[in-house]
Structure 1
Amino acid sequence: MTTTSEPTRKLRTELPAGKAGLRGAVASEWTKLMSVRSTWACLVSAIVIMAIYCAYYGTIVLIQNEENAADASSQPIGNAPQSAVIVVQFVAIVWAMQSITSEYSTGTIRNTLQWVPNRFTVLMAKVLVVSVTTFVVGTLLGLMGALVSWPLFGGYGIVNATDVIVDSVLVGANLALLSIMAIGAGAALRKAAGALAIVFVFLVVLPVLLQPTGNPNADDVLQKVNQYLPGYAGMNFMRGIDDYYPAYVGFLVVAGWSLAVLFIGYRRLRSRDA
């Protein structure tokens, strides 16, 4: 008796529709972000740094006003967390950067690119997850910092609930934009140390090098260059300063820097093997 075997079923190798798209990539990046210890270490560090800096800021405002009672002046308590961004931003940058540099250091970037071959989708998923998370965390940190500094202002703090919320949202927005810059730098350089060094140069080193020299003509040029760097522009739009341009232009300057670095990172990610 002869038997005929059924035709062998063709193995399905394709992922179900949508699984390799942006939605699936975002879900994967969220899982990765929340499952590594460095995320929680950065979160705890940001909370501690924000609290200490804002406590220090409020205390200094109180001391200065008491020592110069004739020229005493009050200021919004939201100034404290906004000033703290100069330090907290590096925690946010490390947090964002490790979302891609850690994959290169461990080799898991190969798995990521196998699951989601489209490199633009991979990068956009990281940007969406990290920037939105950073915005939410940054806003909450801003609120916390304002509350910590409030009693330490000793009556020299201006408290307005709406202004505090707006100031905190601006802190979150600034940190979110910087996190996008960090992802771009990480994608471009692959190494955490190199990417952090580049971002540090733009946020800290260049503003220091562009300080006034005493030469009026040179100082004017240096000031114009400085005001279009991301650190200076970020403080402008958070504080609503419009000495050189409207506050919203400061936001656009930081966004422009972040998108430019992200574009460079994408080009490098697309042109090189994992």
Structure 2
Amino acid sequence: MRTTTPQAPGGGVPVPRRATDSRGAREFGSLSGFAGAVASEWTKLWSVRAPYLCLLGGLAVTAVFTFYYASIARINAHPVEPVGNAAASSAVLTQFAVVVLATVAVTSEYANGSVRASLLRVPRRSRVLAAKALVAAVVAFGAGLGYAVVGAAVAWGAFGGRASLDAGTEAGQILGVGLYLAFAAVTTTGVAFATRHPAGALSILIALLWALPSVLLGLGGPELAAVNDYLPHGAGDHFLRAGVETPYGAGTAVALVAAWAAAAHLAGLYVLRRRDA
């Protein structure tokens, strides 16, 4: 098969096709690079109202839950505990603010068909998923820090003297809440890509992050409690709360939550590569 060589404008020196192709590839590569993909996902996330509503809802839940938690501790004269435990405990609910946010960020593109444009612009499926997961994790981490600070401030007054305040412990718990919510966002992104539908993704995540732990702890027994220790929120609770006995250290707890996030990410990538758009 004979190939033709394009002529330069005005009949000048011919321009080799290889040079034009490589230049186009470089331009396309710069557009579809990871930084560009992250910038695109960041812009898409904040171009709709859903993220703002989710984050504001999480803030409201934090304030109400931590006030309730601290008030019960004061009324029932519970032993003095770190003030950050109130915000740490609220993560069982506030995690769903970032779960919904990350779910909508993925499934809305499948619903309106814009995922095809995203995959054309960034052909590497792993890069698309990683960019969405990173953006969701950064937003969730920042939200977690804010929720923890607000929750501690609200709880401090409601505890009525039945809480302790240590700067190091409180800083660790604030970072812990941010880290846990970031992992929850990465987990959600993977599940959403695997299911491609908001109802399916939320059903799985609600069962994994809340319903199953509630059933295991509600039924009681050391065996069921031990199973809960290896679920995402059970493990997360072990590095979020301070001053309580845990079956393993904080490092192991973080590794377990990270493993769940990695497993969900790989599941989403597998489906994305197999089924495409």
Alignment pair present for 1:102 and 2:108 = yes
Q: 1:166 offset after TM fit, Å?
A: 1.4
Q: Distance in 1 between matches of 2:209 and 2:64?
A: 21
Q: After superposition, give the CA deviation of every residue in 1:113-171 in whole Å (9 maximum; x if it has no partner).
A: 01001110111111111101211121111011101111111111111223222111100
| Counterpart position of 2:223 | 221
Q: Distance in 2 between matches of 1:226 and 1:208?
A: 9
- Counterpart of 2:161, as a letter, is G
Q: Secondary structure at the match of 1:228?
A: coil
| Counterpart position of 1:30 | 42
Q: Secondary structure at the match of 2:246?
A: coil
Q: 1:202 offset after TM fit, Å?
A: 1.1
Task: Indicate the percent of aligned positions where both proteins have the same amino acid.
Answer: 37
Q: Distance in 2 between matches of 1:220 and 1:36?
A: 45
Q: After superposition, give the CA deviation of every residue in 1:208-235 in whole Å (9 maximum; x if it has no partner).
A: 3324757xxxx44323222111111110
- Counterpart of 2:175, as a letter, is V
Q: Distance in 2 between matches of 1:150 and 1:125?
A: 38
Alignment pair present for 1:202 and 2:205 = no
Q: Which runs of 5+ in 2 are unaligned?
A: 1-8
Q: After superposition, give the CA deviation of every residue in 1:21-40 in whole Å (9 maximum; x if it has no partner).
A: 10100110111111111011
Q: Within 5 Å, give how 1:43-122 maps onto structure 2.
A: 43-65=55-77, 72-122=78-128
Question: 1:230–1:257: 8 Å Cα contact kept in structure 2?
Answer: yes
Q: 1:173 offset after TM fit, Å?
A: 0.5
Alignment pair present for 1:125 and 2:99 = no
Q: 1:5 offset after TM fit, Å?
A: 5.6
Q: Distance in 2 between matches of 1:17 and 1:200?
A: 38
Alignment pair present for 1:231 and 2:233 = yes
Q: Distance in 2 between matches of 1:5 and 1:130?
A: 51
Match of 2:175 among 169, 177, 202: 169
- Counterpart of 1:54, as a letter, is T
- Counterpart of 1:38, as a letter, is A
Change (3 A) 1:155 1:212: closer
Q: Distance in 2 between matches of 1:197 and 1:213?
A: 21
Mean CA deviation greater in 241-250 or 177-186: 241-250
Match of 1:244 among 243, 247, 260: 247
Match of 1:152 among 144, 149, 158: 158
Q: Distance in 2 between matches of 1:231 and 1:254?
A: 8
Moved over 4 A (4+): 4-14
Question: 1:33–1:99: 8 Å Cα contact kept in structure 2?
Answer: yes
Q: Distance in 2 between matches of 1:61 and 1:220?
A: 25
Q: Secondary structure at the match of 1:18?
A: helix
- Counterpart of 1:97, as a letter, is T
Q: Secondary structure at the match of 1:35?
A: coil
Q: 1:87 offset after TM fit, Å?
A: 0.7
Question: 1:58–1:149: 8 Å Cα contact kept in structure 2?
Answer: yes
Give aligned pairs, total: 261
Q: Distance in 2 between matches of 1:213 and 1:186?
A: 30
TM, length-normalised to structure 1: 0.89
Q: Distance in 1 between matches of 2:216 and 2:82?
A: 29
Question: 2:89–2:241: 8 Å Cα contact kept in structure 1?
Answer: no
Q: Distance in 2 between matches of 1:244 and 1:165?
A: 23
TM, length-normalised to structure 2: 0.88
| Counterpart position of 1:270 | 273
Q: 1:261 offset after TM fit, Å?
A: 1.0
Change (3 A) 1:98 1:161: same
Match of 1:190 among 180, 196, 205: 196
